Structure 1
């Protein structure tokens, strides 16, 4: 029988694996975009991943009520718009590490968005994190005057949409099984992106071996396996504990981008990413302190 400490250590290691999978999926996606139109790629990727998760989650899906299907699908539509915006940012991005830090602002923006839409209280840590995050964003986008790149704007819009998705997803997850919820949402993301792609993109007439390979890795490793492991690991630990470990995802992404694509950042970009990372830590300071006490 597993002891609580053993289960916690197992959860920590699995969540660390999740952050690596999330980071490396940026590389897979960028490689795939050499052949795929962006919306077509994200649509096929998420639809296939959602269908893969529908297998182990089939019994849960059969037991869902119409209200649960409606709530799950509504969050999935918003998630689909967010991911469609994100992939367009990735398509035009010149620095993946920078993009990952901007996207991670979604975590810092959650309390602000929650206050705007639902009048939830904002903690002192949140108020401190917000100016740090925006200062970091300014350093990233104001290197040569106020001329933010298209990818930076799209990543920030995606972060805003993802923050609202996180809030609504938390509400839906309270009464929908996690695996069923993930399967529905990923599938809906795929459908939303494919509809947008059909309206705005020209689809390739030939799919090369490289396109299939990067799509396969993105579907299996970067999406289905990542979400499945994350759901399993979170069942063994508290949300606050999991949140601390998930902070390191943009750091992994920057390291992989440097090794994979030879990306480098200027001093102002490093400072901007550093401030955003600091904002992530401050935003989750209570959870960080609990994690340090348990470590």
Structure 2
């Protein structure tokens, strides 16, 4: 209950900041700024006393470069919307670390996920009542996108995230989840007929390479002293 409550509050804050921020900036910049959580997770973990392998930091740098090529077009100017999305990235990084913290305490993954969604619903519902005036007819018209977003991209995806984090450390999990933007670009190409430029394809390759490199066990080379 405690773990799910913390996860739900952090996730609710992250999603809210992202949705408000993205209404004030471009999708490309929002995608890149949100992806900064892949570097925030190891940095936060370092300050929390976690040991981060050097190869992971190399992978993070590769992934950041890839996301820049994939998402950013034109001049990069910081707006208030960009700042809100940056705050969103901080909360998404915290979300990964909070999940890891409670999994290390042997929390049940499915129960943790259930409580997380209940608290996130209460958090977001309260903000909706306080700051918005929902049009129920418009909500009904959007029922299928809402059911998909709530059931699959939120319910299934975030539950699989919690279950998957039982078997990997936070920074590697972050790199794997960062493939979301790559899959989005590829799906846009395959399904919607969007054409990716050479720059965007290079970005996809860099992010994919970072994820693969993070999974390869490197041989340990012992230090040899001179005679």
Whether TM exceeds 0.5 here: the answer is yes
- Distance change >3 Å, CA 187–CA 258, structure 1 → 2: farther
Could you report, residue by residue, the CA deviation over 1:143-186 in whole angstroms, capped at 9, with x for unpaired residues?
43342577665544323221121111111123321111101111
**Alignment partner of 1:213 out of 128, 133, 144:** 144
Query: CA RMSD of the aligned region, Å?
Result: 3.7
User: 2:92 aligned with 1:172, yes or no?
Assistant: no
* Cα drift, residue 249 of structure 1: 3.2
**Alignment partner of 1:256 out of 173, 177, 187:** 187
User: Who is 2:89 aligned against?
Assistant: 159
Could you report, residue by residue, the CA deviation over 1:234-285 in whole angstroms, capped at 9, with x for unpaired residues?
49x9336x94865643322212233555545555454445444444444xx2
Please, which runs of 5 or more residues in structure 2 have no aligned partner? Answer: 219-227
Q: Which has the higher helix share?
A: 1
Mapping of 1:130-209 within 5 angstroms? 130-136=60-66, 138-139=68-69, 143-148=73-78, 154-173=84-103, 174-207=105-138, 209=140
User: Who is 1:128 aligned against?
Assistant: 58
* Cα drift, residue 124 of structure 1: 0.6
Could you report, residue by residue, the CA deviation over 1:66-90 in whole angstroms, capped at 9, with x for unpaired residues?
xxx2333123211211121223345
- Distance in structure 2 (CA, Å) of the matches to 1:260 and 1:104: 23
Contact 2:35/2:67, CA 8 A, preserved across alignment: no
Contact 1:78/1:161, CA 8 A, preserved across alignment: yes
- Distance in structure 2 (CA, Å) of the matches to 1:137 and 1:225: 25
**Alignment partner of 1:113 out of 44, 52, 56:** 44
Q: Provide TM-score, normalisation by structure 1.
A: 0.57
